[in-house]
Amino acid sequence: MKTMVIAGRVIRQITGDKRTLAVMLIAPVIILSLLYCLLAFNVTKANIDLVGGNRAAADTIADVANVTAVGNAEEAESRLKAGESDGYIDGDRFVAEGTDPAITALAKRAFSQYAMKQRLSGLPQQFAAQAGNIVEQPQAVLLYGGENYGQFDFLAPSMMGFIIFFLVFLLAGIAFLRERISGTMDRILVSSLRRSQLVAGYFLGFGLFAALQTIVIQIFLVYVLKIQAYENFALILVVNLFVAGTSLAMGTLFSAFARNEFQLFQFIPIVIIPQVMFCGLFNLRDTPLALQYLARIFPLTYGADALRSVMLRGAGLADVWQDLAAMFGFTLLFLTLNIRVLRKYRAI
């Protein structure tokens, strides 16, 4: 009987919390739907540019590549660096982008099929099948990366950004929540301190430890795990600090809507899990446009994009400033909303 009393109390407590019910029943459906869409549209074809090549041979690789004719090698190189293609064919020269091992494998397969058809096109039909067994595989030039470049090297920038984002979100959210629960914030708010000064003070205070955590994570990944970094430690750190700052502002904002740590953790399926889905760990290229637009509303999308550009392609500050500006805008937005939320504690 006592057991049933306790069980009934728990049931009433949970059913009375609409947020908990929503997280338990609705969040899993949303997450699984997103995963289905992401995994159902895997990239199966490489985007290959063809510079004045054999169109008949190009037609033979239609099952593994989307072929686009370009005017010259300079245009093909420019499109490759801009991410508009995965590789190009210029006569006997085969160039692949090289950052994603899976896409590189598709490009090399297309190169092999094209080279075989190109070399056999001049032979009589009775000799083509036999000669096909001895055609050498073409040597592909990798614009980035290398032959020993693995899947972890490609995923490392996104993983780094996500780990920093997630841990800083928890640090900021829990610390800010405890300030409220302990009554410290109430005592501060009775002073003449303005809301903006309070939020800025907490942001700088928590930001010191978030920056320290970020530096430790980056040092471990770059110097211990030896991930690709193009010897640009300083710029990588700048990007990671922007990621940490955005996450810090977001964590303090969402903590204002939680009454305890359990409610704060309820935001993880809504706030954190979508970030990891859209930060580059899944290739969105062939997914519906709605998902690609949805990815742009998550701050980590920009942080991970900047990290991949710097760590995988050796990009400089001029190449990633737009991503940094987007994260800075998110940070200002979250801080402004946090100031507005504090009105429920005291009107200033």
124 with 222, same domain? no
Q: Mark which of 108, 142, 176 sits at the end of a domain.
A: 142
Look up residue 223 and give its DSSP letter: I
Give the angle subtended at the CA of 203 by the CAs of 201 and 207, to the nearest 5°.
120
Kindly write down the DSSP assignment for every residue of 278-345, as one continuous string.
TTTSS--TTS-HHHHHHHTTSHHHHHHHHHHHHHHH---HHHHHHHHHHHHHHHHHHHHHHHHHGGGT
Cα–Cα distance between 206 and 223 in angstroms, integer? 26
Nearest C-alpha neighbor of 258 from the set 28, 27, 17, 26 = 17
332 with 202, same domain? yes
- Amino acid at the residue 57: A
320 with 193, same domain? yes
What lies within 8 Å, CB to CB, of 34 at 6+ separation is 274, 277, 291
Torsion of CA 36, 38, 42, 48, to 10 degrees: 160
136 with 170, same domain? no
Per-residue b or e along 126-137, where b marks 16 or more CB atoms closer than 10 Å to that residue's CB: eeeeeeeeeeee
| Category of 106 on φ-ψ map: left (φ > 0), alpha (ψ -120 to 50) or beta | alpha
| Category of 180 on φ-ψ map: left (φ > 0), alpha (ψ -120 to 50) or beta | alpha
Q: How many CB atoms lie within 10 A of CB 283?
A: 14
Domain count, the chain: 3
**Which pairing describes strands 93-96 and 87-90: parallel, antiparallel, or unpaired?**
antiparallel
Q: Which domain holds residue 182?
A: 151-344
202 with 275, same domain? yes
177 with 280, same domain? yes
244 with 307, same domain? yes
- Sign of the C-alpha dihedral computed for residues 103, 164, 241 and 177 taken in this order: positive
Neighbour order of strands in the sheet with 140-142: 65-70, 46-51, 87-90, 93-96, 140-142
73 with 172, same domain? no
6 with 121, same domain? no
Cα–Cα distance between 264 and 293 in angstroms, integer? 27
What lies within 8 Å, CB to CB, of 103 at 6+ separation is 43, 46, 86, 97, 283
Q: Mark which of 142, 168, 183 sits at the end of a domain.
A: 142
Nearest C-alpha neighbor of 274 from the set 241, 301, 307, 246 = 301
Q: Mark which of 96, 112, 142 sits at the end of a domain.
A: 142
**Which pairing describes strands 46-51 and 140-142: parallel, antiparallel, or unpaired?**
unpaired
308 with 233, same domain? yes
Question: Phi and psi dihedrals of 95, rounded to 5?
Answer: -120, 130
Ranges assigned E (strand) in the chain? 46-51, 65-70, 87-90, 93-96, 140-142
Mean pLDDT per 10-residue segment, the chain (348 residues): 71 69 74 78 86 77 86 88 87 86 87 78 48 59 77 87 91 82 69 75 84 90 83 90 93 83 81 86 84 90 93 89 95 90 59
pLDDT of residue 24: 72
250 with 160, same domain? yes
Q: Which three-class secondary structure state does DSSP give residue 169? A: helix
210 with 325, same domain? yes
pLDDT of residue 286: 82
Kindly report the pTM of this predicted structure: 0.84
